[in-house]
Structure 1
């Protein structure tokens, strides 16, 4: 990481000396590149991947001390594809996070493009040592992305009291864009984390307004999907087991996920995983198992298996090897997803078996 510390006057800002305060900006990033081999439907694919275990990204975090226990804070984070240098996601410059806020005795409030309480729980309980919620994690294969990150949002995190931390978020979805239903994508979410010693547990609720079809107009009717997420983990000396269980309801009439209209079918999914650490020097093994259940049709069910070995070469650099398989029923098309987005495409009813070898460097 690279830090710059400078008085505001050095930036050309004219103000009375009494308002000058300590300010800092940190540049950081993660680079992840891998070679992946996969077989699906009798077809073999070998390719170079970016963002397999950890989303490849760079960002800026800033803090200004305002005095009295208060600080102004911001974060800008860009995801990109290391194998070809292009911007990932929707092509926006800061497509992962972009927010500004205030931190103080009341907690922290921030406005912009934020992660929901659900994402915080996904990332906390879908384990890994080089990064969480990555290649091989069952939850990573089944998470619906619009429920994890929301633009035009306000996020609040409370102080921790008696082991409890409250997280809340409200987002204006498409933010009144012309040609779209006025409430499309509107999101409200709340989550509660409890931590004591080596034990941690979360419970989250999120509701999101969606349209059942990919093609929408201002007159398209919208409905409210509801997500419930529960998770827990305990860190023993040599192993950390964790479990996540998600329930999504009110997605009637939606047969497949449609990110552009925030639509996801009614479903359940779970992941049971364990991170086995202290294997030799700086080594760990992740074991993951999970299943997805489509409520309207059992033919949309899926099962995920994952095994990942991670070795820390240094404080900032690690390498990994992995094996994963996703077995789909006739109406399911889940794949082994990368941490930064979808993996190799799978047709409905096909299975995928994959292996990977890669490197992660943090700066």
Structure 2
């Protein structure tokens, strides 16, 4: 009988050891995969909308659009614990229209982001694939636009400073450091993938952010090098027009910016300055499409102030104002268009995943020389037939 009990005891011991070994192996190589997304749909009233007929007066209109604040998207992200503070990471993310169901980026399967890499708690994260620059990743979080509270509709003219995540950098390698005493830095490089033309449509970006209590500071930079002339366009480079990704096309482009934000109690205030310059410009993003604009130089300076106040934990009120000083040089002369844009918003959160919002946006433009590319326009809403436009927006947003 004693032998029988000894055998049972030994079996229990072996089973416990096996379970412990399996648990240890599982802990060491623990992995996770998460399905996530945002669905954002808005009904927009706009006045002075163009009818597409030359010289015709503008008309008021009501349209339904996707991504009033946040671009509608779905994605899969995951990680695997490799031990020693090292993990494998990946992300696959696609945009689509919640108003029509159509894919964004001209049908690319993962048109927003697609990358894989390694992340170390001690040394930082390095990833490779299709990714966002540090303008949209770092600086836009301090702005009303982009990652800020007003999102896509608040974009600075033509998204000239790459702040609303409309543009991804293909063929890119990206490094982000660990955060040390509130400071994080990063750099990335996008390859041209063109034999014999290393600099034809390559891109590089850098950024630094500092977060300490109520204070946030950011500096970011992006440069895109492209060869001029339709015969030498590289469709497979770092930034491509083929998937409706680029917002300003032409030759080389430089973008940089600075921002600061201060939070006090339920309120916050932010200041952002960005500068962009494109040589040999050929088109700009207006009303959801690329509008022709041919010249030797297109330059912008954007000055923004924004603020947000939480009346309750669920209800927030926000406002922003942006002044944009532009310059356009072409064979027919120079123009100095200037934009004034004001935004007010009320947002109510039913939960941390679901909210509704009301917005009003007003934009005026002067000095555009009657060039329709310089008519008032905001994001993908049908542009104005003249130099001013007013929007009223009501939207629903759900995160999963």
TM-score bin (small chain): 0.7 to 0.9
CA contact (8 A) 1:138 1:304 kept: no
CA contact (8 A) 2:139 2:218 kept: no
In structure 2, relative to structure 1, the CA distance for the partners of 1:140 and 1:266 (3 Å cut) is closer
User: Shift of the alpha carbon at 1:188?
Assistant: 1.3
User: Shift of the alpha carbon at 1:310?
Assistant: 0.3
1:207 aligns with 2:223: yes
Given the alignment, which residue of 327, 346, 351 partners 2:384? 346
| Alignment correspondent of 2:360 | 323
Given the alignment, which residue of 134, 158, 165 partners 2:151? 134
Given the alignment, which residue of 377, 381, 392 partners 1:335? 377
CA contact (8 A) 1:79 1:95 kept: yes
Given the alignment, which residue of 168, 187, 191 partners 1:168? 187
The two structures, once aligned, show a CA RMSD in angstroms of 3.0
* Residues 325-356 of structure 1: CA deviation (Å, up to 9, x unaligned): 1112224235222xxxx222335x53211101
CA contact (8 A) 1:257 1:265 kept: no
1:46 aligns with 2:62: yes
Given the alignment, which residue of 216, 240, 244 partners 2:268? 240
1:112 aligns with 2:112: no
In structure 2, relative to structure 1, the CA distance for the partners of 1:162 and 1:45 (3 Å cut) is same
Given the alignment, which residue of 13, 34, 44 partners 1:36? 44
CA contact (8 A) 1:325 1:336 kept: no
CA distance in 2, matches of 1:85, 1:123: 27
In structure 2, relative to structure 1, the CA distance for the partners of 1:139 and 1:238 (3 Å cut) is farther
| Alignment correspondent of 1:275 | 308
* Residues 205-233 of structure 1: CA deviation (Å, up to 9, x unaligned): 222113456x34269xx854322210100
Given the alignment, which residue of 49, 52, 64 partners 2:80? 64
* Residues 5-37 of structure 1: CA deviation (Å, up to 9, x unaligned): xxxxxxxxxxxx799711110001111111110
| Alignment correspondent of 1:103 | 119
CA contact (8 A) 1:37 1:44 kept: yes
In structure 2, relative to structure 1, the CA distance for the partners of 1:109 and 1:136 (3 Å cut) is same
CA distance in 2, matches of 1:81, 1:131: 20
CA contact (8 A) 1:271 1:289 kept: yes
| Alignment correspondent of 1:124 | 141
* Residues 236-280 of structure 1: CA deviation (Å, up to 9, x unaligned): 11211111111124x34437537799x972221122111111x13
Give the total of aligned pairs.
333
| Alignment correspondent of 1:6 | none
CA distance in 2, matches of 1:162, 1:59: 31
3-state SS in 2 of match to 1:280: coil
Q: Given the two structures, how large is their TM-score scaled by the length of structure 2?
A: 0.75
In structure 2, relative to structure 1, the CA distance for the partners of 1:92 and 1:119 (3 Å cut) is same
| Alignment correspondent of 2:169 | 150
CA distance in 2, matches of 1:129, 1:252: 25
Given the alignment, which residue of 78, 83, 89 partners 2:105? 89
| Alignment correspondent of 1:355 | 392
CA distance in 2, matches of 1:49, 1:43: 18
CA contact (8 A) 1:136 1:307 kept: no
Given the alignment, which residue of 14, 21, 32 partners 1:24? 32
CA distance in 1, matches of 2:123, 2:258: 26
Q: Given the two structures, how large is their TM-score scaled by the length of structure 1?
A: 0.82
Question: 5 Å matches for 1:298-317?
Answer: 298-317=335-354
CA distance in 2, matches of 1:356, 1:246: 26
CA distance in 2, matches of 1:112, 1:87: 20
CA distance in 2, matches of 1:281, 1:19: 38
CA contact (8 A) 1:134 1:140 kept: no
3-state SS in 2 of match to 1:161: coil
CA distance in 2, matches of 1:355, 1:205: 33
Unmatched tracts of structure 1, length 5 or more:
1-16
- Larger Rg, first or second structure (1 or 2): 2
In structure 2, relative to structure 1, the CA distance for the partners of 1:138 and 1:290 (3 Å cut) is farther
* Residues 112-141 of structure 1: CA deviation (Å, up to 9, x unaligned): 001111111343112489964514535486
